[in-house]
Chain A
Amino acid sequence: MTDLLNVQNLVKRFGDNTVVNDLSFHIAPGECLGVIGPNGAGKTTTLRMCLGLTTPDAGSMTYFGNLRMPHDALAIKSRLGVVAQMDTLDPDFTAEENLLVYGRYFGMKDREIKARIAPLLEFGALTSKAKAKPGELSGGMKRRLSLSRALINHPQMLLLDEPTTGLDPQARHLMWERLQMLMQEGKSILLTTHFMDEAERLCDRLLVLDHGQKIAEGKPRDLISQHLEPDVVEVYGQGALALAAPESALRQHAARVEVSGETVFFYTAEAQPLLMALQHWPHLRSLHRPANLEDLFLKLTGRQIRENA
């Protein structure tokens, strides 16, 4: 099947700073592709180029097999749904007016839009808020209204920029549930996120960006098994850092040892010998868990806080 979006060799420079560097990726129908990376990795710039809001310095973006951004921007956008990082809801309008006014931007008839308002509000769990203005809605409700609004034109593909940033756990779970419903309906999704649990839960495939370049790509589970040992033992407490020292005997039990702040991370395929050895330091606290996407992300992009990010 033809890719919904095929991006080839995308480059964007701002002055001397190359923010997106030779980036290629694609999205198949029904697929959810997650773009993860530290702040400043080029995620939002990539999304803006995909929307024709920023013109790339090189590269091509082909939608639906034959439509090219930015040349066919309007034809493409009439088939996309977008939820931006910042809510752009109209503060002066009620929830239903927001949907009505937005539908008109797609050239839809009022009758056609009005028929969609009730189901879309229901989808966003906002039926009781039809007459409420965004100022009266919680953060989660606003995000869901933005998502409902993005669906007004029956889009084939959704572009979501950090859809759950700033939401409480309940609101995030409700958002995830809704996005999963959309994927079951066969919609394709391109989303950026900072939350590894979100990426792991929603995305079929991940693209890890850093400094504008693709540093890894694949299914979440495959990426973890490719790059990491299956088990992690975190050790912290008074004197824990000494265990990471080059002469430490514990090192023989781990394939890789990392230190972050006051915590030592042992990555290993076989945790039992390590856990046994740790019993000699009863005052230290330890946590044994499977390796996850967050470990992968930190391994690939580093643990340091970036000053300029």
Chain B
Amino acid sequence: MMNSHPVIPSVWAPPQLSMRWWPVFLRNLLVWRKLAIPSLVGGIAEPLMWLVAFGYGLGALVGSVNMGGQEVPYILFLASGSICMSAMNSASFEALYSAFSRMHMQKTWDGIMNAPVRLDDVVMAEMLWASYKALFTVTAILGVMLALGISHSWKLILAWPVLWLVGVTFSCIALIFNALAKGYDFFTYYFTLFLTPMMFLSGIYFPRTQLPEWLQVITSYLPLTAAIEVVRPLFLDQWPQHFVGNLCLLVGVAASAFWLALALTRKRFRA
């Protein structure tokens, strides 16, 4: 037989993408439309409670934060960092718990792949969907922040796409863990060992300059740090200092994480 030895393509082969990710994205949108109100309340209420409790409560004690000679009100400092965290959390939850439900519990992905849709397109759709949810959440929070008068800089328009990129980056990372998970419990590791330390070390609650110097060096490479270094100045009506570098870091992490997530997911589905 001429073709009696089919070549099994490597899981590391480049993504084979088509527009078929769109109906998969639409599927998630249609489900979410039915649950949008509770999801919106959950996605916005919690970060806002943090903001009010810490921003106004702790802010009254802290007063302002000195940033490179400039005194910044604590609530503004906190708001500009915590919105990045909201993008991170929103994308992570969706690409972990919700994607895992669809992939593993409901077997939605299996059903989709009996139609002419590749696994690569399904993973792409999940990634974009989770980033869309992050974008939706931060948009609502931004609206409330504007209403509260925390910042009125027109540069916030630029923060918006950056926050979407933050969602993309963390969706890609979360999909790696989704591909490896045997059950929901596995995600606890990701949250306690990865996201929580990052939340405390990326300069949301206090400037990273408070950290020991060696830790400042390490934490400067965290994707959440990169996000905050871009978004915070925009809240302060300033131009970020390392705009391109930080964006490149986010894009680089997103691209490599997506590739790894795709390879691991292909491996999972091959078995």
Contacts and interface: CB of A to CB of B under 8 A. Distances in A.
Interface of A: 8-9, 51, 53-60, 68, 70, 73-75, 77-78, 80, 82, 84, 86, 88-93, 97, 101-102, 104-107, 150, 153
Interface residues of B, number: 29
A101 B26 contact: yes
14 contacts: A8-B1, A51-B114, A59-B6, A74-B116, A74-B118, A77-B116, A82-B114, A84-B107, A90-B31, A91-B106, A92-B34, A101-B30, A105-B23, A107-B23
A107 B116 contact: yes
Given A84-B110, A84-B114, A105-B115, A54 B270 contact: yes
Question: Which residue, of A73, A75, A105, has the highest number of chain B Cβ atoms within 10 A?
Answer: A105
B20 interface: yes
Contact of B111 (A70, A73, A77, A84): A84
Given A58-B5, A89-B111, 19 more contacts: A9-B1, A9-B4, A53-B113, A54-B270, A57-B6, A59-B1, A60-B3, A60-B4, A70-B6, A78-B115, A84-B107, A84-B114, A90-B108, A91-B106, A97-B30, A102-B111, A104-B27, A106-B115, A153-B115
B4 A58 contact: yes
B255 interface: no
Contact of A104 (B3, B26, B31, B113): B26
A60 B6 CA distance: 8
Contacts of B107: 84, 86, 88
Most chain B beta carbons < 10 A, residue from A82, A84, A92: A92
A73 B114 CA distance: 10
Interface of B: 1, 3-6, 8-9, 20, 23-24, 26-27, 30-31, 34, 106-108, 110-118, 269-270
Nearest to A79: B116
Given A9-B4, A55-B6, A55-B8, A105 B31 contact: no
B114 A93 contact: no
B115 A88 contact: no
A88 B111 contact: yes
A154 to B, nearest CB: 13
B8 A90 contact: no
A101 B23 contact: yes
A61 to B, nearest CB: 9
A86 B111 CA distance: 10
Nearest to B35: A92
A165 B63 CA distance: 68
